[in-house]
Amino acid sequence: MSVLFVSNEENREDWLREIRAAAPEFQFLTADEVDDPSDVEFAVVARIGRGGLGGYPRLRAILSMWAGVEHLLADPALPPRIPIIRMVEPSLTRGMVEYVCCHVLNILLRTDCYPVKGWYHPQKRQPRFACGFPVGVMGVGVLGGACATALRQLGFPVNGWNRTPKKMPGIEMYSGAGEFDVFLNRSQVLVLLLPNTPETRAILNARSLRQLPPGASIINAGRGELIDDQSLLDVLEQGHLEKAVLDVFSTEPLPDDHPFRGHPKIIVTPHVASITNPKTAADVLSVNLRKLRDHEAVWPVVDRDRGY
Ligand SMILES: NC(=O)c1ccc[n+]([C@@H]2O[C@H](COP(=O)([O-])OP(=O)(O)OC[C@H]3O[C@@H](n4cnc5c(N)ncnc54)[C@H](OP(=O)(O)O)[C@@H]3O)[C@@H](O)[C@H]2O)c1
């Protein structure tokens, strides 16, 4: 059974080696290696070029190597109706928990002030404690849920905001537009882990950023499109926000002359908050391929109308 493999990532050879080892009963082929397109039943893909999945008449499912799938949905030539399965794998989740907890703790402890302030660090004069420093997680899905749980275990009061109502032990949950402002008002650090959809684009804008308490900070590990860049610069420069940690940007790589670069209140990381690990992801892909081959249910299937 043939599986089309589409990736231009630097570590594509690692991926191929790992998935071939994890699922030896499938034949993984790059587009150049496919002799008969009607043999291809599944596609394992990172980024595809426009129309890159056209011309495979028996394609039954698309398995994404990434958690975010908006780049796939943006292709008007994407084969309709067949399921798209997002990547959920333990290393990706673990990496995001480490990134988010690291930056929330850095913000709480103002660690980046030490080199500037020396002995008279503000933490020494006005200590801040996790128990009095509420963190809001926007998008309490696979990644946001794991981050919310870890932050709670570190002693932070945690608020979560979702599209639909959800309960999570120890987390104060909010949902929908009606509870958005209350959620923001109560979040001293805001962690963005929403997908990029028509509903979430520029969800942090001049109005919503001002709903955060004075001196709040944000961490964006979701997608750059969630934030209106100029509004963020304005609230930082006007002193309403203390800090922004940004891993994702509307244009990537972030242009050299972008005002986020070198900004004294912004930390930029180059879309590295969490990265799929080919080894652990190959195990997930092999399980899902076998289920799909046997016509069993797989998870999580993207809702194309919702956009994630
Ligand atoms: N920076 C990185 O390195 C990196 C790595 C991996 C992923 N990511 C990003 O992280 C995102 C989240 O991944 P995930 O696996 O956690 O996704 P997920 O499990 O699908 O979770 C998405 C969450 O967002 C919520 N949501 C979606 N639209 C919303 C809206 N309009 N209003 C309020 N809440 C909304 C969903 O709420 P409901 O459940 O109520 O629908 C869900 O809880 C990905 O889409 C990707 O963009 C970034």
* pLDDT computed for residue 116 by the predictor: 74
* Confidence class for position 115, pLDDT limits 50, 70, 90: confident
Q: Is the pLDDT of residue 117 over 80?
A: no
pTM for this model (two decimals):
0.97
User: Which of the listed residues 161, 163, 303 should we mutate to test ligand 1's pocket, taking the one with most ligand atoms within 8 A of CB?
Assistant: 163
* Confidence class for position 113, pLDDT limits 50, 70, 90: confident
The DSSP code for 2 is: E
Ligand 1 atom with least separation from CA of 223: 47
User: What is the C-alpha to C-alpha distance for residues 276 and 64, in angstroms, rounded to an integer?
Assistant: 11
User: Which of the listed residues 143, 180, 249 should we mutate to test ligand 1's pocket, taking the one with most ligand atoms within 8 A of CB?
Assistant: 143
| % of the chain exceeding 90 in pLDDT | 94
Alpha-helical runs (H) found in the chain? 12-22, 70-73, 90-109, 114-117, 122-125, 142-153, 180-185, 206-209, 229-237, 278-293
Q: Which pairs from 207-214 meet CB under 8 Å and 24+ separation?
A: 208/180, 208/181, 208/184, 209/235, 209/240, 209/241, 210/235, 210/240, 211/180, 211/181, 211/184, 211/185, 212/184, 212/185, 212/187, 212/240, 212/241, 213/185, 213/186, 213/187, 213/188, 214/239, 214/240
Q: Specify whether 271 is catalytic.
A: yes
Exactly one of 186, 201, 271, 290 is catalytic; name it: 271
Q: Is the pLDDT of residue 44 over 90?
A: yes
Of all protein residues, the one whose alpha carbon is nearest to atom 32 of ligand 1 is: 163
Exactly one of 103, 110, 152, 223 is catalytic; name it: 223
* pLDDT computed for residue 107 by the predictor: 97
CB 28 within 8 A of CB 6: no
Residues 140-189: tens digit of each pLDDT: 999 999 999 999 999 999 999 999 999 999 999 999 999 999 999 999 99
User: Which of the listed residues 162, 226, 276 should we mutate to test ligand 1's pocket, taking the one with most ligand atoms within 8 A of CB?
Assistant: 162
Residues 81-90: tens digit of each pLDDT: 999 999 999 9
* pLDDT computed for residue 169 by the predictor: 96
Q: Which two tokens stand for residue 92?
A: 């990706």
Ligand 1 environment, Cβ below 6 A: 67-68, 92, 139-144, 161-164, 193-197, 199-200, 221-223, 247-248, 271, 273-274, 308
Residues 185-239: tens digit of each pLDDT: 999 999 999 999 999 999 999 999 999 999 999 999 999 999 999 999 999 999 9
Ligand 1 atom with least separation from CA of 195: 45
Ligand 1 atom with least separation from CA of 177: 32
Q: Specify whether 240 is catalytic.
A: no
Q: Is the pLDDT of residue 281 over 80?
A: yes
Kindly report the CA angle at 193 between 187 and 195, in degrees rounded to 5? 135
The mean per-residue pLDDT over the stretch 86-109 comes to 98
Ligand 1 atom with least separation from CA of 162: 34
Calculate how far, in angstroms, residue 212's C-alpha sits from the geometric centre of ligand 1.
Answer: 20
CB 149 within 8 A of CB 168: yes
